[in-house]
Amino acid sequence: MMEIFRLLDELEILLKDSTKVPFSSGKALVETDRFLDRLDRIRAVLPEELEQAKKILEDKERIYEEACVEAEQYVEQSRDKVARMVDDNEITRNAVLVAEEIIAKAEEIAAQTRADADEYADSVLAHMEMVLSRGLEAVAQGREELSKDPEEESRQTADGT
């Protein structure tokens, strides 16, 4: 993740430090080879970043499945506990209450674990979206700068248009 930020910072510095074209409303000459090299490096790093996002999603699924298994274990434990306490009416009523509490607690834990995993995955994906968006904006801006014809702008400035 940090590599993408570093490369984007390098592109920004490259654009900011580029030679400004006089009388051109902020136009600049960019070293094409250096700019394209940074873009190639970003393209090389992006698959790694996407693989990390995939891993996070897989971790979310694993956590969710573990929570479900744990909840099912709590349910089974409570059923076993209830079966052992069937001896007396009062004990049975208490066992049912305890079982319901255990089931409710297991469901609450599973729901919270699921919500936490979803929130974590969403925050990571939102961060990835922001990073990728910045990168695409920098690429688009760089391509726009590269596509402008400095000689045509010089003629227009000289003609007064």
User: Hey, where are the domains in the chain?
Assistant: 2-159
Half-sphere exposure of 153 toward its Cβ, with a 13 Å CA cutoff?
15
| pLDDT for the residue numbered 106 | 93
Residues of the chain whose pLDDT is less than 50? none
| pLDDT for the residue numbered 78 | 85
Q: Which of 30, 69, 64, 50 is CA-nearest to residue 125? A: 50
Q: What is the DSSP string of 1-15?
A: -HHHHHHHHHHHHHH
pTM higher than 0.75, yes or no? no
| pLDDT for the residue numbered 109 | 93
| pLDDT for the residue numbered 113 | 92
| pLDDT for the residue numbered 99 | 93
| pLDDT for the residue numbered 104 | 94
Tell me, rounded to whole angstroms, the distance of Cα 155 from its chain centroid: 46
| pLDDT for the residue numbered 105 | 93
Q: Which of 34, 35, 36, 18 is CA-nearest to residue 26? A: 18
User: Is 36 in contact with 139 (CB distance < 8 Å)?
Assistant: no
| pLDDT for the residue numbered 112 | 94
Q: Which of 65, 67, 58 is CA-nearest to residue 120? A: 58
